[in-house]
Structure 1
């Protein structure tokens, strides 16, 4: 993580390429070594050199062998990014929870895909974010850090630059990126708190469905009971979940395996009696800001359709 005392954003430019500025506090380091100490990879330096970026010291372009002095101002201007051919920028509504030069945190409604697919090539979160970047004049593409299924609601984090995406992905791999969900499952969950640690892989014969299987990828989900209740004679439980890995359909598969399918999740054994989509919502994101190192936390309330299920009438 980059120390906040040595980094500032520097976006007060007509040139809106993403840039970071560092103040040098150690004498005699090579520029290459200094940038590496700030989390800038060799690959990023190469891309910066050959794909339209720039590295400057005190406003003058320098190569990576330049030797630095205390008090020097080092700027890395990242190369412009273009959306992939499969991502068409569109104008559309975005529920923006937080935005700065590096990240964007959104609240996604149920029923909207995060990224385009063959079945949903337009109208996705990524389409609308790409459209926003075009409108804002940012030479950036969409880097989805935390992706949600189409029918899962809640918080999504998006990076505005691939270097920022890389830093946040490293946090996720080291369990420094906290994702908490709230869900409504069928049945009264017996244990107040437990962990499901079962590998997940594709179900034979299906391109969509996943299952717990020995040859799958490792996956861990922590479960904590919030509120068991009975609705129309049926036992249900509101639970909180923390993801430690990010496998496709992880929560849905793990809860089915545990015997508590999400209500509304008919793909994995849930009923559609009270809600027409899986009752799953990303309620909390907590991580360190990839540039400043500041602790960031964002919260989203349970949406109305899930509240109507949990309300005992």
Structure 2
């Protein structure tokens, strides 16, 4: 008898909920509002431009609680919002003729042209506040699905939660914009049929292991490991010269390069997180150089890399090599000999291995910024070879390996160097 009463109460509760009017949904941000007056107040704050052509009589009706008038306004606002999104995309990515240009990418995907117009100018043209224009552009861009590239991926590991692939060189990890293809992410979309969760990235010219999450529940456990630096990442690199020690470490802070917006440089140890004077220094090619930038401007952070020499050929003459744009020969750099080194990252700074190798006088072969260029390889000789992490669901240690690409194998063969296995225990 009691169970019948409970069932009746549950049924009545469901009927009352079903009889309630659905929330009024904002056509811009998607927020649900319960009453017509509250909806009007929300629109005035969120997207007042959608109310510019609404008659005063309709506004008064909505303030009085007229739900039919509110729904009528929202129906018109949806059309206005969509037109505004199309217009802001046309203005942001217009071609020289002022129309939205569609250009064929090398991979055959359609992408918006990247002749971009500043958002402040667009806001002025459309008569919108900067914040509203920025949010409008963001939401318009999110409507474009990320394109899938048809090129196959080399899968190193895959289960229901993770996907590890071997990224080739000359390929960006992620697209410059969500509607632009030609990246590893776009190839993974083609492989999975949907966008993955990107865990980390590699430089365009660095090959090797890239890890993606396939399920939402795998994202945070893996991301925490990267943040806490418990993921062990090992790289293979071809560098100039023969290091004096088989195993060595570099613990020199890295920050922005004062002379190149995309480059990094090493700084004295005491500068990391502590510089506050108006005149600071960075070390480039063994020479201390003064700069007027602050430590905050230079974004100086601690950096730690361990190295292990695998094999060397001291007889290779590199004196005819073309120096990179930031390569500076010094007492540390001897343009003779080539070594294959294994590198373990304890921190994850931009260009960390490349900058630390240059700092100790052994810059990378093929590095157009910090190293030397020649016929041996057409990009920086750096490969993400090995990764160890804890699986996000079963907690087992997952070991990922990526074989050396053909260009690095050919370079090793040309230098007479053997790609032997390195000992992980030597890094402990």
Sort the TM-score into its range (normalised by shorter chain). 0.5 to 0.7
Give the structure, 1 or 2, with the largest relative contact order (CA under 8 Å, sep 6 or more): 1
Q: Compare 250-259 and 270-279 and name the one that shifted more.
A: 270-279
Q: Please, which runs of 5 or more residues in structure 1 have no aligned partner?
A: 1-50, 52-82
In the alignment, does 2:265 pair up with 1:211?
yes
- CA deviation digits over 1:255-290, x for unaligned, max 9? 111111000002113233411101111111111101
TM-score of the superposition, structure 2-length normalised? 0.50
Q: What is residue 221 of structure 2 aligned with on the other side?
A: 167
Q: Where does residue 412 of structure 2 map in the other structure?
A: 310
Relative distance call for 1:227 and 1:125 in structure 2 (3 A) is same
CA distance in 2, matches of 1:247, 1:200: 7
- Correspondence for 1:178 among 221, 229, 232: 232
Give, in whole Å, the separation in 2 of the partners of 1:84 and 1:177.
34
Q: Secondary structure at the match of 1:268?
A: coil
- Give the match's secondary structure for 2:176: coil
Partner of 1:248: 350
In the other structure, the counterpart of 1:112 is 171
Which residue matches 1:95? 154
Q: Counterpart of 2:230 in 1: which secondary structure? A: coil
- Shift in Å, 1:245: 1.5
Q: Calculate the aligned-residue CA RMSD, in Å.
A: 2.5
Measure the CA separation in 2 of the matches of 1:163 and 1:85: 25
Contact preservation (8 Å) 2:160, 2:215: no
- TM-score, normalising length: structure 1: 0.67
2:196 pairs with one of 142, 145, 161: 142
Match in the other structure for 1:276: 378
> Higher strand proportion, which one?
1
Q: For the residues of structure 2 that align with 1:130 and 1:308, how far apart are their CA atoms?
A: 31
Unpaired runs of at least 5, structure 2: 1-30, 32-141, 272-294, 318-335, 417-428
Between Structure 1 and Structure 2, which shows a larger proportion of helix residues? 2
Residue 187 (structure 2) aligns with: 128
CA contact (8 A) 1:266 1:272 kept: no
Q: 1:85 to 1:165 in 2, by over 3 A?
A: farther
CA distance in 2, matches of 1:221, 1:162: 31
Determine whether 1:191 maps to 2:275: no
Q: Distance in 1 between matches of 2:181 and 2:315?
A: 37
Q: Larger Cα Rg: Structure 1 or Structure 2? A: 2
CA distance in 1, matches of 2:238, 2:395: 34
